[in-house]
Chains A and B, each alone.
Chain A
């Protein structure tokens, strides 16, 4: 059986132990660490010369439907695995002492991780979908049981929202399946991609729009975004890290896997629509982000905003933009996880996340200030962090669809998206200035101490990953570039 199965089984088994055992934190740290090491080992043993899907294995379950439990990973999946295991380890690491049902809490985190990993390594359409659904259940529990504020209402809202989105997505997936010529009918995504690239499989615009709406609501594409900020503000920090950092990326991954090879014409046909929606993410949601008065909501909105850049890479529909989108998935996942971890730390230490009550924290907590500064800079795409090369590729990829001597819709959109870079600097630096610089706020009492050891090292892990890949984006691009070779001119 494929070694990828162990990547799914390790968190599942660990989760089972957590629910039964007495030392859930130690067990989950061990499981998450083992998964990261295994992923690093697989990344090293993935043969870049051959490329394509490797570590393949599976079992046919229902021949009539072409349903199989089959696993395999190409360069894109490998990169997604790296993101998932890194964020999982960080999320488990930063988990503060849990008063109620600690075992359940850790189990839920690990189940989300297992679901995400399963979705990223499944080559069968059914399991690709099912694993993601599996991960939604623990998300619901994490918000509903351990959340803050109106946790139950928000948990229901998010779950219904995402379940509805998933249902629309399911209709789209069925649409794809039905469009496969009868003799070739299969659920194998690798074959579906090949059929799409070859032009044999073209389910038409309606199916594409279903797919876009389905994935779009999971990714928080404007105007399907209003679930996200509330959910991240209410969710406990590790849950927000895993959801915003990893699970939300399932939608982008799905678009890269299915929409790009199967619906290239439709993506171009509806480029205008998507460009307007993604500018809604970047500009409109950007302004909403500026107006936020609480750090957790601001981070939630900022994460919605950044999804606009990912869509810009998609709509560019060339190797540059798609590579940028893939890098953006990783960069944003790591960054937002680091920010939510630090946000949770601030909330638990000073008891509030309102800018008006905080201020001058860098004086008493210089390490926290330094880490938050690094994470904020990563978030606004400072060179040196992975976010920068990903944005560069996205902008150049989308601009490549422009014309010399004129300014078409793609170029105009890139210009607006570039303005988004200014907007994100505005809200991030303002937040940093209000929380860490200036005079002391009413809640910024002394004697609270600096960042805890666990959060510190978990965030350093995430930031180090961003810096290493930012200095050498080839470390990831070597895996990603061949995936979109079918676009080679």
Chain B
């Protein structure tokens, strides 16, 4: 009785007590002092470690803000709430940056495919074979390298081309460098007019390959009321410092490759699918 029950209980109680004492001692002796301000800032941050601020984690950013190395309004996913929170902690007024969204500069409506691709489901790999299966060598390859890095599940595919849901996108910028054709850029919400093509090919080639490709015809340059558009590399480029989002260019563009507030995808096979306009939040953003 004594050996069978009392001794084991005693042994375990002793081990437990000793371990508890050791842990208590360790936590006192090896205590690392944390900065209260950093903790408070960290509480304001969304804690998703997206990297949009340029640092590896939210903690690193909180420390950088405390030390004054980084501006307190760099957290894009946090938006207004985070900015105000950090402002309260630091006792200063912090204005949030304008919300941005990633945008794919390709309508994804190349007319036909050159070959049937059976390789790895990766844009970089597919791009090695004759610059992808689409006729346009600079267009979206549609195999989802960007979607695979998106932490917010904001990228979906229509017509084999990536499309970004502005409601879900927090402009962390993870998708920008992975696109082998450099089609994705971060755009502020006030920059409402966008060119949905970035192909440098000539007018003849673009016309053959894509119904929505920028021809570099220059019609938008002539009609622009503020001279905000230039043709660079056979493709229209908008200077957002000047552009006031009037939308004249979008109306007169012959291939309809300039759009205001998103654009209608699925025009290539419009008979099968209902046309869907992407909801773009109003100017100023709904934080």
A and B bind: no
B-binding residues in A (CB < 8 A): none
